[in-house]
Amino acid sequence: MKNKIRVILGMILLVMGCIKGFAQDSRSNEQEKVDQLIQKFWNLSYGEWGSVRETFREIGDPVLESLMKMLRNKETSEWSSYRIEWHQRRIAWALGEVGTERAIELLIEMIQDRTLHDYGRYEAAMALRRIKSEKAVEPLIQVLNDKESNPPPRFGAAYALGAIQSEKAIPSLIKALDEENVQMRMGAVSGLGNIGTDEAVAGLMKALKDRDGYIRRLTYPYLIKLLPEKKTEFLIMALREDDWGAREDSVKALVEISEPMFEHLFPLLKDDDRVVRWEAVRILGKIQPEKAVEEMTEALKDSDWMVRNEAAVALARINSPNVMLPLIGLLKDNNSYVREEAAWILGEMKSERAVNPLIQALKEEDTGWMAAMALGKIQSEKAVKPLIRALKEKNIEKRRAAAWALEKMPSDKAVKSLIVALKDADEEVRMWAAEALKRIGTPEAFKALEKYRNKIN
Amino acid sequence: MKDCKIKGLWLRAVLLTAISAMTLMASQQPQVKQYPQTKEYLKFFPHTYDQCPELPSPYTTKGGIEIVVAHTKDNQFTLIPVTVKKGESLGYREGDWDKILILEVDAEDFPTLARTGLHSELELDHVRWITGRSIAEITDSGRPGGSSGAGFMAQEEDIISVLKGDNRLIKKLGLTHPQMAKPLFHVWNIARWVGYTSQSAGRTIGSIDYFLYNKRKVRLITAGGRGWQYSIFNDEIQGMYHLEFSIELDEAEKAFLQERYSNLSNEQMADFQKMLSHIHTGEMVPFYIMRYGFYEGHTGYRADPIAISLIFGLRIIEEIDKAFEGNLHKALTENFTRENTSAAGGRYEE
């Protein structure tokens, strides 16, 4: 019996020894895997970290010990701040990818540890943002409220709290909107925007009054997402922003909505703020200007050159008979700006129907030059004589434009006048006259040109 | 620094370096060219010479390679290939590697600029859009706080008034926009070449003390990175780098300015001299000058044509002063508003 027991005990010991040996082998294999992963990870640049994401997740907890050993490595105290930062960020990122309960605990330790680099702690907050664990809420709120810490871990905490969507964080996030540091306020807006409750929306409304345009710009998309019924109201509000980016975002969004915006945009064309009027014309021009011809034509009379320019460009792009008739009428408008823009658009449209009115408009002292250029673009034979006459006027701009137009529509009839223009007091008139003569190319024109060039040289 | 959008700065910097390297390798090979006087072969940076090579700087080889002579901080001389040619690509924006053509001019909007190297004022008065974008939109995006914090022009300037103002300056100087763009392209190509070779040579742009240009010693102060800056025009030009360089005015030049502008206070004179001898800009500007005749308005990034002409020895100070008939200080400092660049009230009207 005793022998039997001895044999059994011996077998048990043998089995246990085998199990232990197997476990040791398995542990050393595991350690090898961890070492290989760590070695590989430490050779990767920031953009390549994602390539080992799955391996961290597969190995899980066993990698944590090595990571924490590296975090607490005393040699790092000798390193530059930059090297320390990236060492700690790497560790925090890896902990986040492991993502187990133990990893979360370690990340919480990291964000709370004021001896770590600000951006090491920030990266820990970013890892918690990805994991979205409720367990991290209280510690993150503590960090957010911790004014003894520098901003990076604090705004990192704000982003993380937003991702976790913890309502408990709202009061702290709203408070953070009053901080001096702009990144803190950015983090607070993001946090509130992602939580999205009524209380958070109230905080976002406060952010819309921030002194920094960039904060306001960040706030609009959250409000639009959370209060879709007020989308148009917010977008129109953003058009009044002095922040360029906020206005640009709004213009893009309004253009996307397209036609339903018309009724909201039309009143803005009469707004007191010239920028609002301009943005309204710009949006209409990008949507469907042909449905707003009347309003665009009216905008040609605006006191601001940017509004007029935008309206002219939009009308020129339409290029339809519906646009042409009112424009022909505008060639006789009292306002010289309107006459000038109308002539430019008609020139871009290149319609024969506009030739006679433009010939009449050529007589205008201040805007006749633009009519001359329009005639040059239309290239109607009817315009040659009036342009030759304009070449002899006192008005420099008109002479320049007439010579330019005659270059576009070369005619033998113009040769003599162009030869005279080669002696014009204005350099640009002479240049265009020479170009016109070159295009006409008659022997008389060439002879005059040769003489002119010899004189210049 | 302009508070422009920073998007993956490091990634892009690496990308840019790689692309620049490929471009340079393609466009500047071989690195060794025959030395014209001695028939020896020219070796480019990072190779150095104990003596200053007997070459004018800039110099163009028979094969069309443009070279500048530079001096290093360890008192050596070196040759840097800086060829500017049509069709050379910069490989800037991911996926659009061959779209930035150095010698491309916007001929559709500005036919006279393409034909003569100078704008026609008539065309500038007439234009209502550039690259399909309204001049109002370009101006809005180019003013301070627009697509860049510092802006591409001052608040009271607009794109047409700036183009017109600078066109008049260039005309007064008797030069053309391509002539002005070329030395700036050379500076940019110095930075690119040194940046490319620094990976293998271990010598960075900081090792260059100055380079010679039409007998002037031009000190390259920085050619470092900043955030990405998008163009205000509807084009593919983008910015990533600061370019800062200067010359020392010699005693005769200083004395000339003191005598001609004795009405200026010491502080004004110091600013005046700095404006003439120092440029801080970005690498977008040579492309802008070539394509549109745009030097940026009166912002911290302006490459003033008057300073370009003096720094790169295109004109001497007496010639420049004569061109502006004693109004050089005003020409350098006054913004280009609609009023002072209009045909009727222009400052520089013939």
Mapped to the 3 state alphabet, what secondary structure does B65-99 carry? CEEEEEEECCCCEEEEECCCCCCCCCCCCCCCCCC
User: B250: helix, coil or strand?
Assistant: coil
Q: How far apart are CA B48 and CA A120, in angstroms?
A: 44
pLDDT at B72: 93
- Which of A251, A310, A340, A439 to substitute to test the interface with B, most B CBs within 10 Å? A310
pLDDT at B23: 40
Any domain includes A109: yes
Q: Which domain does A91 fall in, by range?
A: 54-71+85-164
- Which of B9, B12, B109, B128 to substitute to test the interface with A, most A CBs within 10 Å? B128
pLDDT at A5: 74
Contacts of A312 in chain B (CB under 8 A): 128
Segment-wise mean pLDDT, segments of 10 residues, chain A, 457 residues = 71 66 64 90 89 93 93 86 92 96 97 96 97 96 96 98 97 97 97 97 96 93 94 91 90 82 87 94 87 90 93 88 89 92 94 95 94 96 96 94 95 95 95 96 94 88
Contacts of B135 in chain A (CB under 8 A): 309
pLDDT at B200: 63
Any domain includes A92: yes
Contacts of B126 in chain A (CB under 8 A): 344, 370, 373
Closest residue to B126, CB basis, from A242, A373, A432? A373
Q: Do A428 and B134 touch (CB under 8 A)?
A: no
Any domain includes A357: no
pLDDT at B197: 76
Q: What is the CATH number of the domain that holds A153?
A: 1.25.10.10
pLDDT tens-digit profile of A80-116?
898 999 999 999 999 999 999 999 999 999 999 999 9
Q: Which residues of chain B have pLDDT under 70?
A: 1-40, 86-103, 198-203, 343-350
pLDDT at B96: 40
Can you spell out the DSSP letters for B156-173? TB-HHHHHHHHHHHHHHH
Rg of chain B's alpha carbons, rounded to an integer?
Answer: 20
Find, among B154, B87, B148, the residue nearest to B298 by Cα: B154
Q: Does B125 touch chain A (CB under 8 A)?
A: yes
Residue type, A238: A
Under 8 Å between Cβ of B35 and B42: yes
Q: How far apart are CA B132 and CA B89, in angstroms?
A: 23
Residue A171's H or E segment, with its range, is: helix A170-176
Would strands B129-130 and B208-213 be described as parallel, antiparallel, or unpaired?
Answer: unpaired
Quick one: tokens of B235?
């084009």
pLDDT at A262: 79
Q: How far apart are CA B136 and CA B178, in angstroms?
A: 26
Residue B225's H or E segment, with its range, is: strand B225-230
Any domain includes A67: yes
Residues 6+ apart with CB under 8 A from B239: B4, B226, B228, B229, B282, B283, B284
pLDDT at A264: 86
Q: How far apart are CA A179 and CA A384, in angstroms?
A: 70
Contacts of B11 in chain A (CB under 8 A): 47
CB atoms within 10 A of CB B207: 19
pLDDT at B250: 97
CB atoms within 10 A of CB A121: 28
pLDDT at B296: 97
Any domain includes A58: yes
Closest residue to A428, CB basis, from B10, B120, B128? B120
Any domain includes A130: yes
Calculate how close chain A gets to B213, using CA atoms only, in Å: 29
CB atoms within 10 A of CB A412: 12
Domain count, chain A: 1
Any domain includes A94: yes
Q: Residue-wise over B149-161: b if at least 16 C-beta within 10 A, else e?
A: ebbbbbeebbbbb
Calculate how close chain B gets to A269, using CA atoms only, in Å: 16
ipTM score = 0.78
Q: How far apart are CA B44 and CA B77, in angstroms?
A: 10
Tell me the CB-side half-sphere exposure of residue A173, using CA atoms within 13 A. Answer: 36
pLDDT at B12: 42
Under 8 Å between Cβ of B306 and B320: yes
Any domain includes A127: yes
Residues 6+ apart with CB under 8 A from A4: none
